[in-house]
Structure 1
Amino acid sequence: MQKLYNFGPHKLCENQVFYKSKFCIGLVNLKPITPGHVMVIPRRIVPRFAEMTSDEATDMILSAQTIGKVIEKEFDATSLTMAMQDGPQAGQTVPHVHMHIIPRKAGDWANNDDIYDELDGKQAAGVKRVDNDERKPRSIDEMKEEAEKLRPFFNQHED
């Protein structure tokens, strides 16, 4: 039987997870805004960043750094956007701390900061973008394939 991980109220299959550290996991995104858009979350359900332990917060940042290096290379990016929406008024829609790691390339958005509107699901600067509700969710097989591609790049902490 496949292990399940909690992401707020959602259950994630192990085949969506490509990275495991002591306190965090890296997972592929159901509705990525770019190819290679992944997330890192604490294993424990923690609604807000300030509620994480020091060990969890440190591990999350170091995990994001480790994951980001691979994502940037594997998706031919030149930069990364790393974003955390901490609380409902900041745009957090799942009550579980998560950091988006999004590969970036020159000219991918006309206005660099429009990516934050896209994360919030808003229309950016007159550009018609597909918001979170309109983005088609990927299939389990698509997410599994991406996780399998990424998994060999990382040492895995055993559960």
Structure 2
Amino acid sequence: MSNFQFGAHALQASQVFFQTRLSFAFVNRKPVVPGHVLVSPRRVAPRFCDLTAEEVSDLFLTSQRVARVVEKEYNGTSLTVSVQDGPDAGQSVPHVHVHILPRKAGDFKRNDDIYTELEGHDKTPSTDVFRSIDDMAAESTRLEGLFIGDS
């Protein structure tokens, strides 16, 4: 795997579990629910409308492919698929990304509470609340294996 940039953040290759020519999927350093992953275009583009038509197509086809695998792997019954486009929409990293969250009945008291959690999940100033590189690498390796032979 090559180097991956997520906004100003250089990702460890071990965090990335799936990639195409234009997009990549990676595990989340602070997931809202188990299996909460991100899909992003390779090119750092701050806003959704900054993407080319080819990038949009690949981003959403990749998101769909990843979503199928993640929902099954985490025994989800539904998915929340979300794009926070710009800081006033809750985007904390100025690089387009799709949140994919496998959902189950009763995972939140009120179903829409997931959006409140999503808005603040990575804004805690202390880094000790984030997952370890080893933990993220283990999840990434497990997920990567689910795409072998997948077409």
Asked if the contact 2:92–2:123 (Cα under 8 Å) also holds between the matched residues in 1, the reply is: no
Asked if the contact 2:15–2:140 (Cα under 8 Å) also holds between the matched residues in 1, the reply is: yes
Matched, 1:11 2:4: no
RMSD: 1.7
Matched, 1:142 2:141: no
Asked if the contact 1:118–1:131 (Cα under 8 Å) also holds between the matched residues in 2, the reply is: no
Q: CA deviation at 1:4?
A: 2.4
What SS does the aligned partner of 2:129 have?
coil
Asked if the contact 1:31–1:132 (Cα under 8 Å) also holds between the matched residues in 2, the reply is: no
Asked if the contact 1:7–1:45 (Cα under 8 Å) also holds between the matched residues in 2, the reply is: yes
What's the counterpart of residue 145 of structure 2? Answer: 152
Taking the aligned partners of 2:88 and 2:13, their CA distance within structure 1 comes to 30
What's the counterpart of residue 41 of structure 2? Answer: 42
TM-score by length of 1: 0.87
Taking the aligned partners of 2:60 and 2:115, their CA distance within structure 1 comes to 20
Unaligned runs of 5+ in 1: 122-129
C-alpha spacing 1:45/1:10, structure 2 compared with 1 (3 Å) = same
What's the counterpart of residue 126 of structure 1? Answer: none
- The one-letter code of the counterpart of 2:12 is C
What SS does the aligned partner of 2:134 have?
helix
Unaligned runs of 5+ in 2: none
What's the counterpart of residue 93 of structure 2? Answer: 94
Q: CA deviation at 1:155?
A: 5.5
Q: CA deviation at 1:45?
A: 0.2
- The one-letter code of the counterpart of 1:33 is V
Taking the aligned partners of 2:74 and 2:129, their CA distance within structure 1 comes to 21
Taking the aligned partners of 1:101 and 1:14, their CA distance within structure 2 comes to 19
Residue-by-residue CA offset, 1:63-108 (whole Å, 9 max, x unaligned): 1110000001100110010001000100001000000000100011
Q: Percent identity?
A: 49
- The one-letter code of the counterpart of 1:88 is P
Matched, 1:54 2:47: no
C-alpha spacing 1:131/1:62, structure 2 compared with 1 (3 Å) = closer
What SS does the aligned partner of 1:94 have?
coil
Taking the aligned partners of 1:48 and 1:145, their CA distance within structure 2 comes to 30
